Amino acid sequence: MRSSDLAARFQAEFDAPPRIFSAPGRVNLIGEHTDYNDGFVLPSAIGFYTHVAVSPRSDRRLALRSMEFGDGFEFDLDQMPFQRLGSWCDYVLGVAQSLDQAGSRCSGANLLVQGDVPIGAGLSSSAAIEVATAMALLSLSQEKIPITDVPRLCQKAENEFVGARVGIMDQFASCFARAGNALLLDCRSLAFELVPLPPDVKLVVCNTMVKHELSAGEYNLRREQCEQGVRILSKFFPGIKTLRDVSTEQLMSHSDELPAVIYSRCRHVVEENQRVQQTVQAFRSGDLNRVGKLMRESHASLRDLYEVSCRELDIMVASAEGLPGFYAGRMTGGGFGGCTVNLVASAHAENFRREVAVHYRQETGISPEIYVCSSADGAAIQGS
């Protein structure tokens, strides 16, 4: 949808001209389940966006509409719900509460949300609506909050209001990603570097179209297992605060003290952090075959050690192997369904899309959606 259409619809709905703020979804190239362990990630935004059109109101009400979901909401800013309502408006309410707590008091506003980030596909449609909402509400607020605080505030909204214990990666990428690059993020310090992606390569995102029910519970369980690993290892190495601080040698030297499943989880995180650094070096030296090897290792580790893959993801990854122009692929995001990300030479991307779809459909009976993407700009970059 064009922004002029969104503005026209807003005008018809609220009888006022809006300002429009947009934030993208993301894929993660490597560094999976490392963000909540203070580790490293390498996401890239993709050209699917959530747009939030906004105008001020003279009263203390928040009126919310969505182009995708029929239901609209209206809230009194002085009597906001403390708990999630189980609807799309939770993301907006969570962000409003988070901004409020950070000292940026929301003023009355009309909001119309429209987006094309596939929902429930692991491409961070939730981070996109959170970040776009934060930018929209901040534009009306008297008390300014630095843009660098936006990812944390949006993460807090999702952790505390929506109730998902996610890490910082998605919100950060949605804010600060840059077209033409991946973003190497240190999830402890939030320092980041841009890593140029080869210009003649597409990010082909293959949606398995499944989302297994257990994903949220298993995600929280993985976090607890990592924390348990840290508790045990820190008895031997008091300096260890998170798995980010653990070396392979430290982990190996105390493998017997860890329950087998905890050891596997820790090993994935420790080695995945190393793979992120190695992948960055490989991109910088133009060695896409090495990137491919590291991404394959990452997928195998997520499947066998971290156990967050599923049959459909494994089939989608296998469907890509051997196709012309294919360099690398693996599951991306939290797992248990969602998407794979693939690096494919631009000239072969369309053929790749067709071939993968045929193979995946044959094996699973499910028609996948496959998106040929380029890396895109985050919300903060577009707004600047």
**Which residue ranges make up the site for ligand GLA (CB under 6 A)?**
32-33, 35-36, 166-167, 169-170, 333-334
> Residue 131 carries which side chain, given as an amino acid letter?
V
Q: How many CB atoms lie within 10 A of CB 221?
A: 12
Three-state DSSP state, 57? coil
Spatial separation of the C-alpha atoms in residues 258 and 251, rounded to whole Å: 9
Nearest to ligand GLA of 170, 312 (CB atom): 170
Q: How many CB atoms lie within 10 A of CB 287?
A: 14
At 189, list the tokens: 């310090």
At 188, list the tokens: 């402890």
Spatial separation of the C-alpha atoms in residues 347 and 355, rounded to whole Å: 14
Residue among 38, 90, 170, 245 flagged as catalytic: 170
At 285, list the tokens: 């030296």
Is-catalytic flag, 170? yes
C-alpha distances (whole Å) from 43 to each of 25, 104, 323 are: 10, 29, 24
Spatial separation of the C-alpha atoms in residues 169 and 40, rounded to whole Å: 9
At 219, list the tokens: 């995600």
At 123, list the tokens: 């491409």
Spatial separation of the C-alpha atoms in residues 331 and 335, rounded to whole Å: 7
Which residue, among 112, 114, 119, has the nearest Cα to 13 in the 3D structure? Answer: 112
Asked if residues 341 and 25 have their Cβ atoms less than 8 Å apart, the reply is no
CA torsion sign, 172 to 189 to 248 to 259? negative
Distance of closest approach, residue 243 Cβ to ligand GLA, in angstroms: 13
Spatial separation of the C-alpha atoms in residues 251 and 247, rounded to whole Å: 6
Which residue, among 222, 220, 244, has the nearest Cα to 233 in the 3D structure? Answer: 244
User: E strands along the chain, which residues?
Assistant: 19-28, 40-41, 43-56, 61-66, 73-76, 109-115, 181-186, 192-196, 201-211, 326-332, 337-345, 369-373, 375-376
**Which residues are marked as active site?**
170
